[in-house]
C-alpha cells in the first residue's frame, strides 16, 4: 500500500486514516487497509489520541516502513478513522517521542539511525503566481539524512532546541519586527514550536495585538476571535529572530485572500491564541511558528544534538542567494515499504477545526541521502 502524507514537525505520532466508507471516490487519498498487509500488527491500544487541537480515536498498529533504502521494522503509527484530509492519507510525525502516544522509537528517528547524518531538512515551496496564502500546489523537498545544498545559500544558522527535552522542536524568540520596527515579545512568552504542519503563526494575544497595532489599517475580525484583517496594499515587512540572524517573511505569506476579493481587505496569517482560548495546550509553547515563516527559509532539524538550523533560500528555491549544484542533494524517495509511499507531502495543516481556514499546499518530493 502506498500513501501521500503530510509532514508534521509538531507531532511525535504518525496518523493514517484506516476507515472511511465514503472515501473511495475520485479526489480522496487512499486509506490504510490492514487486512491487505502481511506485516500489520494491531497493538490493541485504543485512543483517543490528541491531534489538531482535538482528539481522534483509533488503534496503534506496527508495520515495516521503508524510506528509500532505510527500512524500519515494527514502526508504530495511529490508525484512525478519516482525518478530514482529501489529498493525503494522514500525517507523518517528525517531533520527538516525548509527545507521542506510540511507545516505539518514532519512525523518523529509527530511519536516521541508519543515515549518514542525524538530520532531516525541509524546503516548502511557494506556488508560482500565488498572491496570497491558502492555495494548493507543489510543496517542496524533504531530505532525510542530510541537506540538499542546491536549495540554500551561505551558512546554516544552528540554534539549540529549548524547553522540555525530547518533546517539541522549539526555540526562543529574541525579537519580532514589523515594518522595520523591532517590537520585542514578552519575556515569559518567548518559547516557539517550529511546526511544518501548522498553516499560520500563532502567538499570545497581547503580543499579537501589539504587532498588528503597528500595521496601519489593521483591525480585529469581530466574528473570528484571534484573527486580524488589514488593507491588502499595506506593506507588513514582518521578520523574526531567534537569537542570531533576522529572517524576513514575504508579505505574500502573511495574507490570505481578501474578504470579499473586491474590497481590498486581507486576512492576516498571524493569529492570537484567542482562537483556541478554551483549548490551549500549555505544553506546546507560547508561539507556534508555522508555514508563513518556513516558506522563507531552508530548515534543518538535527537529532543529535537537538538543534534547528535556518539558511537563506537559493535562487532555485525562490530566494535571492545563488546556489552551486551538489551531489549531496540526495535521491527522490518513491517507495516506503508495504505501508507508506511518501512521494509527496502536504505541508499546510490547520490546527483550528474550522472549514473556512483549511489551507494546504500539496506535493513535496521526499529526498534521501544514501551512504
Q: What is the mean pLDDT of the chain?
A: 76
What would the grid cell of residue 282 be? Answer: 500549555
Q: What is the pLDDT of residue 159?
A: 96
In percent, the amount of the chain with pLDDT more than 70 equals: 71
The domains located in the chain, with CATH, are 5-116 (2.40.70.10), 120-329 (2.40.70.10)
Position 71 pLDDT exceeds 60: yes
d(CA 8, CA 126): 18
What's the CA angle centered on 104, arms 141 and 85, to 5 degrees? 45
Position 329 pLDDT exceeds 60: no
| pTM assigned to the model | 0.81
Tell me: the pLDDT tens digits for 134-153? 434 456 898 999 999 999 99
Non-local CB neighbours of 296 within 8 Å, separated by 6+ positions:
247, 248, 249, 250, 253, 313, 319
d(CA 148, CA 6): 20
- Between residues 75 and 271, which one has the greater pLDDT? 271
Q: What is the pLDDT of residue 58?
A: 74
Sign for the pseudo-dihedral over CA of 271, 272, 278, 284: positive
Stretch 67-89: mean pLDDT, rounded? 75
Non-local CB neighbours of 303 within 8 Å, separated by 6+ positions:
109, 112, 118, 119
Tell me: the pLDDT tens digits for 200-233? 999 999 999 999 999 999 999 999 999 999 999 9
Tell me: the pLDDT tens digits for 8-40? 999 888 888 776 666 666 667 777 778 888 777
Position 160 pLDDT exceeds 80: yes
Amino acid at each position: 500500500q502506498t500513501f501521500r502524507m503530510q509532514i508534521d514537525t509538531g507531532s511525535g505520532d504518525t496518523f493514517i486514516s484506516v476507515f472511511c466508507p465514503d472515501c473511495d471516490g475520485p479526489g480522496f487519498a487512499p486509506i490504510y487497509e490492514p487486512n491487505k498487509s502481511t506485516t500489520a500488527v494491531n497493538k490493541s491500544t485504543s485512543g483517543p489520541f490528541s491531534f489538531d487541537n482535538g482528539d481522534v480515536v483509533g488503534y496503534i498498529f506496527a508495520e515495516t516502513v521503508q524510506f528509500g533504502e532505510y527500512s524500519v521494522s515494527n514502526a508504530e503509527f495511529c490508525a484512525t478513522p478519516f482525518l478530514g484530509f482529501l489529498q493525503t492519507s494522514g500525517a507523518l510525525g517528525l517531533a520527538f517521542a516525548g509527545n507521542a502516544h506510540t511507545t516505539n522509537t518514532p519512525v523518523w528517528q529509527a530511519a536516521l539511525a541508519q543515515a549518514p547524518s542525524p538530520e532531516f531538512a525541509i524546503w516548502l515551496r511557494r506556488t508560482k503566481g500565488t498572491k496570497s496564502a491558502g492555495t494548493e500546489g507543489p510543496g517542496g523537498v524533504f531530505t532525510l539524512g542530510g541537506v540538499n545544498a542546491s536549495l540554500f545559500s551561505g551558512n546554516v544558522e544552528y540554534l539549540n532546541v529549548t524547553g522540555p527535552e525530547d518533546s517539541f522542536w522549539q526555540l526562543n524568540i529574541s525579537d519580532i519586527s514589523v515594518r522595520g520596527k523591532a517590537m520585542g515579545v514578552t519575556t515569559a512568552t518567548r518559547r516557539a514550536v517550529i511546526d511544518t504542519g501548522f498553516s499560520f503563526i500563532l502567538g499570545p494575544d497581547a503580543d499579537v495585538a501589539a504587532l498588528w497595532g503597528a500595521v496601519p489599517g489593521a483591525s480585529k475580525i469581530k466574528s473570528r476571535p484571534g484573527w486580524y484583517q488589514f488593507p491588502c496594499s499595506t506593506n507588513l515587512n514582518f521578520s523574526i529572530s531567534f537569537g542570531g540572524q533576522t529572517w524576513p517573511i514575504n508579505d505574500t505569506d502573511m495574507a490570505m485572500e481578501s474578504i470579499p476579493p473586491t474590497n481590498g481587505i486581507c486576512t492576516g496569517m498571524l493569529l492570537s491564541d484567542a482562537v483556541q482560548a478554551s483549548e490551549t495546550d500549555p505544553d506546546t509553547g507560547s508561539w507556534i511558528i508555522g508555514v508563513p515563516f518556513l516558506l522563507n527559509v531552508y530548515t534543518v532539524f538535527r537529532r543529535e544534538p537537538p538543534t534547528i538550523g535556518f539558511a537563506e533560500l537559493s535562487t532555485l528555491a525562490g530566494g535571492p542567494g545563488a546556489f552551486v549544484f551538489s551531489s549531496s542533494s540526495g535521491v527522490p524517495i518513491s517507495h516506503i515499504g508495504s505501508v507508506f509511499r511518501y512521494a509527496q507531502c502536504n505541508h499546510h495543516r490547520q490546527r483550528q477545526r474550522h472549514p473556512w481556514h483549511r489551507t494546504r499546499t500539496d506535493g513535496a518530493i521526499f529526498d534521501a541521502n544514501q551512504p
